[in-house]
Each structure stands twice: as C-alpha cells, then as structure tokens.
Amino acid sequence: MDLQLGGKVIVITGGAKGIGAAIARACAQEGAVPVILDRDKEAGDQMSSELRGSGARGADFLALDLCSAQSCREAIDRVAKTHGHIDSLVNNAGINDGVGLEHGTPAQFVGSLERNLLHYYNMAHFTLPFLKDARGAIINIGSKTAVTGQGGTSGYVASKGAILALTREWAAELLPFHIRVNAVVPAEVMTPLYRQWLSTFPNPEEKRQKIVSKIPLGQRMTEANEIASTVAFLLSSQASHITGQHVYVDGGYVHLDRALT
C-alpha cells in the first residue's frame, strides 16, 4: 500500500528512542522527512544519522526540553524555516513518572502535567498554521493507563486521560480545516523506559512473564514497530476519513476478558 507520505515533513516529539524512534523509522521508510524533537542529544544525533544513512534525505533533529512553551514555539519556527512546510505532528514524548496521590505533592503533580500534557497542546498550537496549509494530521500517543488506571501515577494518568479528550476536541475544532486528529493507545510495549521500570523489581524477567501472560493476543508484548505502522497509516491519505478516534494497538489488553488468557 502506498501511503503517499513522500516528502511530507513530520514532526515527532520524543523521537530519539522507543516508540518515537520506531515512528521516525516507519515514516522515513515511506519517504517522509522525520524531524525529531528530543532532549536526549546523543540519542537524537544517532537517530538522525541512522535515518540519513538509510536514505531519509532531510531527516532532522532538534535537542530541546519540551516543558517550555517558548522552546516549542522556537522549535516549530526553526523547522518551518529549514524545511519550508510542516505536514503533520506526532505528539509522543512523555514519561510515567510515578507522581501519585499519596506519594506526591501538588507541585510534583503540576510538574508531571508539564512533562506529559502541556507540550501536546503547545506543539499543536504552534504547528497549527502550517497544518492548515497542508491539510495535515495530528497523532497523539496515549496510554492504556488513561482507561484502566495503574495506581501511584496520578500525574501521568491525568495527562493521558486529557490527551484522549483533546484528541476528540481537536478533531471537532479542526474539521473546517480538514485536519485529522487521532490517538494511538499502546498498552505493554518494550521500550528503554519500560525496561528501566522492569529493572526496579527483584526479578525483572518474572515480572515481565507475569505481564505478558495477561495479554490476550499471543501472550506477548506489542512491538514498537506495530505502533509505528499504525501511526504511519493514520498520518497517510489512506486514512483520509478517520478522525477523532482512539486506536488501541495492544493485543486486546484493554478490552478483552482476561479469562481468555
């Protein structure tokens, strides 16, 4: 299937590692120009070099902290100046930071919202003029925790719940401009951050096996490239009549009866 992404400039936050990196690779494979925004300079430089080495001409990387609205504005201005246009935005950056209700403070909760939610709005806001010109698309990466809860991570879950709501709100608001907005919702995906979380348990492999045993389809974790393929499709003209959707790529983790496992 030709996704017709050739030459499209796609901004991807948190694109240096994990799911974001997989999305950048998938877009590059379709001929798009991925522009990675990430605070990890070393990983970002490596990723952009990899993309260019694989033939992704124009692939770019900007090192920045997305918590500042001003830095988001400056990044979008720079991308537009360098590439001349912006066709789509993938809001992906975030971290399950463990700011809970009991073990957390109001200030820490606000900080978690800054790390996980506010830059989704800021990036969409500053990118919007270019998306209007391109009749582009926004993909928001969510999390199953927004609908299942997890415990001990109020800031992250509040952010992810808001992201699902904003996906529908933006889809409604941007209808006149033919800008499509969708969310992709993973559950259990092995990423560097997920591996780091597993390492906090006395027996990480035992914990991993316990988790995958509850995933209905194949009793395995979702792969990052499976998330990325869905994102690439939703960005493309092949998904031209899909907007306001929450697309779960999770092997049935959220919606199927666990008794099936």
pLDDT at 260: 87
How big is the chain by its Cα radius of gyration, in Å?
18
Structure tokens at 225: 């490239």
- Is the pLDDT at 57 greater than 90? The verdict is no
197 alpha carbon, distance to own chain's centre: 19
Q: Is 9 in contact with 79 (CB distance < 8 Å)?
A: yes
E strand or H helix that includes residue 37: strand 33-38
For the chain, the first-to-last Cα distance in angstroms comes to 33
- Residue 44: which domain range? 9-189+223-260
Segment among 69-83, 151-165, 196-210 with least mean pLDDT = 196-210
Structure tokens at 67: 């918590």
Instruction: Please confirm, yes or no, whether 253 is among the known catalytic residues.
Output: no
Which residue(s) pair with 249 in the sheet?
186
pLDDT digits (tens, 9 = 90+) for 203-237: 999 999 999 999 999 999 999 999 999 999 999 99
Instruction: With respect to residue 140, please indicate whether it lies within any of the assigned structural domains.
Output: yes
204 alpha carbon, distance to own chain's centre: 25
Instruction: With respect to residue 213, please indicate whether it lies within any of the assigned structural domains.
Output: no
Which residue(s) pair with 189 in the sheet?
222
Instruction: With respect to residue 86, please indicate whether it lies within any of the assigned structural domains.
Output: yes
Strands in 137-141's sheet, in edge-to-edge order, are 60-63, 33-38, 9-13, 88-91, 137-141, 180-186, 246-249
61: domain CATH number is: 3.40.50.720
pLDDT digits (tens, 9 = 90+) for 7-29: 999 999 999 999 999 999 999 99
Instruction: With respect to residue 22, please indicate whether it lies within any of the assigned structural domains.
Output: yes
- Is the pLDDT at 261 greater than 90? The verdict is no
Q: Is 96 left (phi over 0), alpha (psi -120 to 50) or beta?
A: beta
- Is the pLDDT at 259 greater than 90? The verdict is no
CB-based contacts of 225-230 (< 8 A; 24+ apart in sequence): 225/22, 225/25, 225/26, 227/19, 227/22, 227/23, 227/141, 227/184, 227/186, 227/189, 228/19, 228/22, 228/23, 228/25, 228/26, 229/26, 230/184
C-beta neighbour count of 70 within 10 angstroms: 8
Band of pLDDT at residue 197, cut at 50, 70 and 90: confident
pTM, two decimals, is 0.95
pLDDT at 136: 97
* 180 three-class SS: strand
Instruction: With respect to residue 210, please indicate whether it lies within any of the assigned structural domains.
Output: no
Instruction: With respect to residue 215, please indicate whether it lies within any of the assigned structural domains.
Output: no
Residues found in the chain:
261
Instruction: With respect to residue 63, please indicate whether it lies within any of the assigned structural domains.
Output: yes
- Is the pLDDT at 162 greater than 90? The verdict is yes
Total structural domains in the chain? 1
Instruction: With respect to residue 132, please indicate whether it lies within any of the assigned structural domains.
Output: yes
**Catalytic residue, candidates 120, 121, 156, 194:** 156
Average pLDDT over residues 143-163: 97
